[in-house]
Amino acid sequence: MSTENNLKNLYENSIKILSDLIAFKTISGEDNNQLIDYCDEILKKFGATSFKTFDKDKKRVNLFATLKAKKPNGKPPIILSGHTDVVPVSKGWATNPFEAVIKKDKLYGRGSCDMKGFIACTLAYAPIFSKSDLNRDIHFSFTFDEETACKGAPILIKELKKRGIKNGICIVGEPTNMKIIDAHKGCYEYTTYFEGLAGHSSQPDKGVSAVEYAARYVNKLIELRQKLKDRAPKNSIFDPPHSTLQIGGIFGGIAHNVIADKCFVNWETRPVVKEDGVFLNTELDKYTNEVLLPEMKKVFPNSSINKEIIGEIIGFDRVKNSEACEFVSSITGDNTREVVSFGTEAGLFQEIGISTAVCGPGSIEQAHKVDEFIKLEEISKCLEFLGGVKNQSTSS
């Protein structure tokens, strides 16, 4: 069969796999077992070994599969990393969001670019990897719930450490138009719950308004936000250059004339450096425990303030001499490096010593939107890139 026919078959197979992946409704927090089993079956068909890690209910699962090197020569393994979950779907789609639809030069569907397009390409390339005389292992890492503060990846990373997989080159295939991303801020998400004492609004001194204390808590957050701006590092590579803080919502109360006994606040921060996250939480906890709570408990001893960590995605730090970035550059010929405002799982791999780069098909501009799509040329570019990965993993 000619090279042209091989490439055509590879492209068509990737589109078929992507269509199948989109049909699995793997919204964050929901069961993704069927999709993982689908991926596992494809990889095992071509000789991969694998293991799975689960959430506590075994409803959501990570997959880590390996095609072993036939002629190992000590080169670091390659990890092709992607998340299997997608964000919820809102109204207004022109097509069924869970059915792949091709219109002209675009393929539409939830997760098409973020980031089932990358996963589809890696699965389509598995038979080629399996037939090659690999000089290093090729790993496939597919996780759950990245979109909700990276809940799945830490479970996988813990297992990798246990199995001694602490080195290598990881390529996180988030949509970057196949450009190299080598840094992003962290993303810490929290919900803080306030419980006071309900009562009639005509006697405010006999109740403890959870809403009012939540409002004071939010004011403290806004005050600390300014301090984060003042802590901006010199020569920061980010825009904005400082750690940010945002209030996502305040929810509490049942009526105009009832003192609210319950309220909660959703908030998040995106630290430039870990120390900013530590500073913020230390100052906030001090204010909670030394000012707010004592005042609440004077009136109602059972008052409480509890901060729940929804997720703490560590940042992805720029490394001067990045093996992963140099590896990707050697294939694409592009030596530029960029930073992004969105979070990924890259920092988690980096933290255990695995050199990491973010590079994948599609544009973040289409992610999380109505009528999400990936340009078909991006699929072709990703397949061409994986061809480079194969070449770099079979040469002597």
**Sign of CA pseudo-dihedral 163, 64, 66, 357:** negative
Q: List the beta strands (DSSP E) in the chain.
A: 49-54, 61-67, 78-83, 101-103, 106-108, 138-143, 169-172, 181-184, 187-195, 199-200, 244-252, 258-259, 262-270, 304-313, 338-340, 355-358, 373-375
Both tokens of 381, joined, read 């570019």
Residue 392 and residue 197 in contact, taking contact as beta carbons nearer than 8 Å: no
Both tokens of 334, joined, read 């592009």
| Residue 276 is a catalytic residue | no
- Among the options 137, 146, 261, 276, which is catalytic? 146
Task: State whether residue 135 is helix, strand or coil.
Answer: coil
> Rounded to whole angstroms, how far apart are CA atoms 52 and 136?
22
> Rounded to whole angstroms, how far apart are CA atoms 343 and 381?
23
59 CB-side CA count, 13 A: 11
- Among the options 40, 85, 174, 189, which is catalytic? 85
Among candidates 392, 382, 293, which has minimal Cα distance to 18?
382
| Residue 146 is a catalytic residue | yes
Among candidates 357, 374, 363, which has minimal Cα distance to 180?
357
Give the residue numbers annotated as catalytic, written as ranges. 85, 146
